[in-house]
Amino acid sequence: MMTRLKTWVSAAALAGGVALASLGAGTARAQETIKVGILHSLSGTMAISETTLKDAMLMLIAEQNKKGGVLGKKLEPVVVDPASNWPLFAEKARELIAKDKVSAVFGCWTSVSRKSVLPVFKELNSILFYPVQYEGEESERNVFYTGAAPNQQAIPAVDYLMKEEKVERWVLEGTDYVYPRTTNKILEAYLTAKGVKPEDISINYTPFGQADWQTRVAAIKSFGSAGKKTAVVSTINGDANVPFYKELANQGIKATDIPVVAFSVGEEELAGIDTKPLVGHLAAWNYFESIDTPENKAFIQQWQAYKKNPKAVTNDPMEAHYIGFNMWVKAVEKAGTVDPDKVIAALPGTEQKNLTGGTSQMLPNHHITKPVFIGEIKDDGQFDVVNKTEGLIPGEAWSKQLEGSKDLEADWVKLNCGNYNTKTKKCGGA
C-alpha cells in the first residue's frame, strides 16, 4: 500500500512538474510577443464600417513586424468580435485584457460601445485607442481619441454650410444613441447662438439598422419646402445609411435642393450603393482617399496590395488607426516597456505624420491635432474636397457650446485630470 502510495505521489508530482514546465513554457512563449487587441464588430449592424478597421489593424501590425516589431519582439494581433452588441464589447474587452494579456486595444466605433468598455479599461488599467469621430464631453486617462471631436468635424461642417451654401433651415438627423444626441445638442446650441430660430431646426432620431425611410425622408422634403435653404446634418450610423441615401434618390432630393452633410459616411459605406444620384452631397472628415500626397498614395497602395484588391478603398477611421498605432509604437519605444502607466505618460507630445500632408500630435487631453475637410460625393464613390481648414485643429474634449462643459479642461500631463473646472479649480467637473 505504501509503495503504491509513493508511486502515485511520485507520478502526481511528475505530472505536476510537467504541467508546471508546460505552463512555464507557455508563459515564456507569451512573453516572446507583444499582444495587441482588436475590438471591432465583424457582424451585426456596424460590421459594414468596422470590419475594414480590423483588417487595417492587421495590415499595420504585419507591416510593423516586417520592421522588426517593437522592442525587439513581434506583435501578435488578438481579434475578437463584439458583434455590434454593446454589453458584449465590455465582455470582450475584459477577455482581451485579463485573459489574453494584450498591451493595448484598438477598437470600438459607436460611442455606446466606447462607453460600455470604459469601466473595464479603468479597472484593469489598460489602453484603448478610439479611431472614430465622436461627441466629445469626455477625456479618460486610459483612452486616446484619434477620431474627431465636435470642433474638428461637426462645427466646421455647419460653418461651411452657413457660409458657402447659405443654409438657414437645419435637419439634425441621427441614429438614436449617445453620439448623435450629444452632437446635436452641441449643434443646436451653436446654431441658436448664431441666430437660427427654433422653428428652423428639426431634430429626429431613428433606431440602429433603420430600413424604412420613406416617411422620414418625406418629412425632410416637406421641412425643406418653406422657402429657406435647408440642409441635413446626418449622424446616421452603420448600415442604415444605405436605405437612407436610396430613399433620398427615390424621392428626388438632390444636393442642389437639400444638401446632406454626413459625419459617418465615407468611402467604405459608399462602396455599397449607387452613388450617381448622390453626387454633390457632402461629408465632413479629417481624411479622404482622394487627397493627393505621397504618404496617402503609399498607404492606398499598401492597403490594396494587402487586400489583393486594386479597388479596395481607404477611409478616415483607417487613417486614425494609422496615426494612433504609430503613436503607440513610438510611445512604447520611448518608454522602453509596454507597461500601461509608462506608455500613457509617454504618449502626450508624440507626433506622427498623417496621410494628408501634416503632422498630428497627441495632446495632454488625449486628443490629437487634425485638419478638417469637406468633401462632395462624386459618381465614382470618392470625394472632391471643396473646403479645408488652415493648418491642424487641436481636438477639444469639452464643448464651449454646452453650459456644463464650457468651464472644463482636460489635461493628463500637468493637472492629471480629465474634467478640471477652471472656475472652482477642482478636478471632477463640479
pTM value is 0.88
pLDDT computed for residue 167 by the predictor: 98
Q: Which amino acid is at 4?
A: R
pLDDT computed for residue 430 by the predictor: 58
Give the CA count within 13 Å in the CB-facing half-sphere of 27: 6
Given a contact cutoff of 8 angstroms between Cβ atoms, the answer to whether 44 and 85 are in contact is yes
Domains assigned to the chain: 36-149+294-370 (3.40.50.2300), 151-292+374-388 (3.40.50.2300)
Rg (CA), the chain: 24
Q: How many residues does the chain have?
A: 430
- What is the spatial distance between Cα 140 and Cα 220, in angstroms, rounded to a whole number? 37
- What is the spatial distance between Cα 63 and Cα 38, in angstroms, rounded to a whole number? 16
Given a contact cutoff of 8 angstroms between Cβ atoms, the answer to whether 326 and 388 are in contact is no
Rounded to the nearest 5°, which phi and psi values hold at 193?
-65, -25
Q: Which amino acid is at 245?
A: Y
pLDDT computed for residue 116 by the predictor: 98
Q: Which amino acid is at 321?
A: H
Residue spans of the chain under pLDDT 50: 1-30
Given a contact cutoff of 8 angstroms between Cβ atoms, the answer to whether 368 and 361 are in contact is yes
Rounded to the nearest 5°, which phi and psi values hold at 269?
-70, -35
Given a contact cutoff of 8 angstroms between Cβ atoms, the answer to whether 109 and 53 are in contact is yes
Q: What is the 3-state secondary structure (H, E, C) of the chain?
A: CHHHHHHHHHHHHHHHHHHHHHHHHHHHHHHCEEEEEEECCCCCCCHHHHHHHHHHHHHHHHHHHHCCCECCEEEEEEEECCCCCHHHHHHHHHHHHHHCCCCEEEECCCHHHHHHHHHHHHHHCCCEEECCCCCCCCCCCCEEECCCCHHHCHHHHHHHHHHHCCCCEEEEEEECCHHHHHHHHHHHHHHHHCCCCHHHEEEEEECCCCCCCHHHHHHHHHHCCCCCCEEEEEECCHHHHHHHHHHHHHCCCCCCCCCEEECCCCHHHHCCCCCHHHCCCEEEECCCCCCCCHHHHHHHHHHHHHHCCCCCCCCHHHHHHHHHHHHHHHHHHHHCCCCHHHHHHHCCCCEEECCCCCEEEECCCCEEEECCEEEEECCCCCEEEEEECCCCEECCCCCCCCCCCCCEEEECCCCCEEEEECCCCEECCC
